Amino acid sequence: QVTTSFRAFDAGGGFIRNIRPGELRVLENNATLPEYELELVRTGVRFFVAFNEGPTLANRFSEVSRFDRLKTALFNWIATQPPDGSDEMTLVSNQGILEMDSGDPTSWQTALEAYQPDLRNMTPGMSSLSIAVDSAMNLNLQGEKSSAILYITPLPTETQFISLQEIIARAESNGIRVFIWLIGPTDYAATDEALLLQQYAEESGGRFFLFSGAEDLPALVDWLDPLAYIYHRSYTTKAAVSGEYQLVLK
């Protein structure tokens, strides 16, 4: 009995859910296997939120700070947590990982409420993203759960872009998706820097959003839920001799 796991995504990066057995062709050494079992399993997702603190996050729109709006979007995602409790969350600042239980939504809520950095007096950097990627890489070695990072950042400097590209390339090569929320005025949208951030995010399989404080932030459940599933497939092999065998899914 041979068992393996896989994820299926369409050309736009969306997870293909509810594949029926007749839609999946399984070949072992170029021979089609007529019978196999297929199961969709929710493994959950490891979600890292990396804050790159800086004064622009404290700016206000309609008397509400950007930072508070960002936290509300995270609180809204926490409120959607399924009863199986399979998701994990880690909050990362440029000073390090915040103390919390990554498997307990109540702990996430408490840690996020207590996180009140002095944004006006902080200098942005690359530490939070680097820490998040390193942590995700270590945890990706454990089980089938996938990792995703939300990087909340002001517009990086020219020097920081060099480090940013290397860090996100490291994430991409390890199957870690990086979502980027760029915080700043709407006229950032036409800049080469914003387009480059969008490119970096999409190359990792993630998404990009520019937030000035006026927009509705994306619903994180829509971005993360597709990453929380995996297919398990099993079949009885035709192989009767030891050696190398090619398995292909179409």
pLDDT value of position 201 = 96
pLDDT value of position 165 = 94
Tens place of pLDDT per residue across the chain (250 aa): 999 999 998 887 778 988 987 889 999 999 999 899 999 999 999 999 999 999 999 999 999 999 999 999 999 999 998 766 899 999 999 999 999 999 999 999 999 999 999 999 999 999 999 999 999 999 876 678 999 999 999 999 999 999 999 999 999 999 899 999 999 999 999 999 999 999 999 999 999 999 999 999 999 999 998 899 999 999 999 888 999 999 999 9
Task: State how far the Cα of 67 lies from the Cα of 73, in Å rounded to an integer.
Answer: 10
Task: State how far the Cα of 41 lies from the Cα of 25, in Å rounded to an integer.
Answer: 19
Kindly report the backbone phi and psi dihedral angles of residue 59, in degrees, each rounded to the nearest multiple of 5, phi listed first. Answer: -60, 150
For residue 96, what are its two tokens?
A: 């390090």
pLDDT value of position 83 = 67
Distances in Å between the Cα of 213 and the Cα atoms of 7, 38, 81, 198, 243 are 35, 44, 25, 19, 59
Kindly report the backbone phi and psi dihedral angles of residue 177, in degrees, each rounded to the nearest multiple of 5, phi listed first. Answer: -85, 140
Task: State how far the Cα of 250 lies from the Cα of 248, in Å rounded to an integer.
Answer: 7
Which amino acid does the sequence have at 105? P
pLDDT per residue over 124-144, tens digit each?
999 999 999 999 999 876 678
pLDDT value of position 154 = 97
pLDDT value of position 27 = 94
Task: State how far the Cα of 173 lies from the Cα of 169, in Å rounded to an integer.
Answer: 6
